[in-house]
Structure 1
Amino acid sequence: MYALLVLDIQVGLVHGPETPWRCDAMLDTVNGLMDQARRAGAGIFLARHIGPAGSPMAPDSPLTRLAPQLKLSGNEVVFEKQRPNAFAQTDLANSLRSVGATGVVIAGMKTQYCVDSTCRAARDLGFDAVLIADGHTCSDTAALQAKDIVAHHNATLHGPFCQVIKAEDWCF
């Protein structure tokens, strides 16, 4: 059984100064995945990346709130993380196991940081990992455009770290 893990779709990233590539399409994809997971009775976990108190990423900062575009039902598990890898220093692995999940479907932000780190860690912890090819994004960097970062990670992660599947081809 697979659970859905949505990473860091927060106000500060979605509405920040660096516009995420294909953000509206990614949000639609994630909302569709959440609907599908609900219908299948799969667990839905949403990570909020936070920083120290008093910083712009403090747990109570408006920037760390989940983006209002997410269509939440109230039955999701929302947890805080302080590292790119959503399993590091959190109870995520135990929480997934407690709902019977042997696999995790990963979507969210940012591709080259939290999405990458979490995909790599999931398999090391014994979970089958699926990355939704069109369900993650980032912003352009000085070195690469976001579309190239996403394409690179889809190609690099597929196989040794996870399956990479388009949302339309995934079913919980």
Structure 2
Amino acid sequence: MTDTALVLVDIQKDYFDGGRWTLHKMDQASDNAASILAHARKTGDMIIHVRHEIPSETAPFFRPGSEGAEIHPKVAPIEGEEMILKHKPNSFLNTGLHDTLSSHGISNLVLVGAMSQMCIDATARAAADLGYKVTVIHDACAARDAQFDGVPVPAAQVHAAFMSGLSGTYATVVDCAGYLEAG
């Protein structure tokens, strides 16, 4: 029995080209996430797909029941893989994620998905606070351009800032190739 779970966070259609909330390098991130998913399936790690819906018909993206809220086919779940529906950035908040992980004896989490500056950050920090050993595959995550106080921040810088904040204190942050080679 494994003590590791791959958690795929919000790899949903609205984040891809043509979606309602396009992310920078989402195709590349999802390709890497698919490689990590294939590896987890091969090694027998637990796999959990997290899907976000924003419970409002006026939400800018991830509207309940919309095509954009669906998991992208690149990382589509197969029979036996867990699905968690969430309504907040933190994948643990008001979901059964922690109970599911605990009931399977999981102590190590591998996180991939989106957005780096929101749901990946919130989920990684919550997981570390709950005592999990967290690994974030940085190039299997994607970010979006941001701005603060009139200052634009390109997605690549947003991503780097959030990965640097997670690295060391909350998670081990590695790239896809390094993770696959190690494991």
Identity, % of aligned positions: 28
Task: Write the deviation string for residues 28-60 of structure 1: whole angstroms up to 9, x where unpaired.
Answer: 111111111111111111111112254453432
Matched-pair contact (CA < 8 Å) for 2:167–2:173? yes
TM-superposed CA distance for 1:77, in Å, is 1.1
Picking from 50, 53, 67, the partner of 1:47 is 50
Gaps of 5+ in 2: none
Give yes or no for the alignment of 1:65 onto 2:70.
yes
Task: Write the deviation string for residues 71-127 of structure 1: whole angstroms up to 9, x where unpaired.
Answer: 543332111101100000001011112222101101100111100000100011111
Instruction: Report the aligned-residue RMSD.
Output: 1.7
Query: Helix, strand or coil: the match of 2:177?
Result: helix
Q: Distance in 1 between matches of 2:94 and 2:77?
A: 25
Mean Cα displacement is larger for which, 131-140 or 106-115?
131-140
Q: Distance in 1 between matches of 2:70 and 2:28?
A: 20
Instruction: Give the TM-score normalised by the residue count of structure 2.
Output: 0.86
Q: Distance in 2 between matches of 1:65 and 1:17?
A: 12
Q: Distance in 1 between matches of 2:23 and 2:14?
A: 11
Alignment of 1:20-169 (within 5 A): 20-52=23-55, 54-56=57-59, 57-142=62-147, 143-169=152-178
Gaps of 5+ in 1: none
Query: Helix, strand or coil: the match of 1:69?
Result: helix
Task: Write the deviation string for residues 101-160 of structure 1: whole angstroms up to 9, x where unpaired.
Answer: 101101100111100000100011111111112110022224211111111111111111
Aligned residues: 172
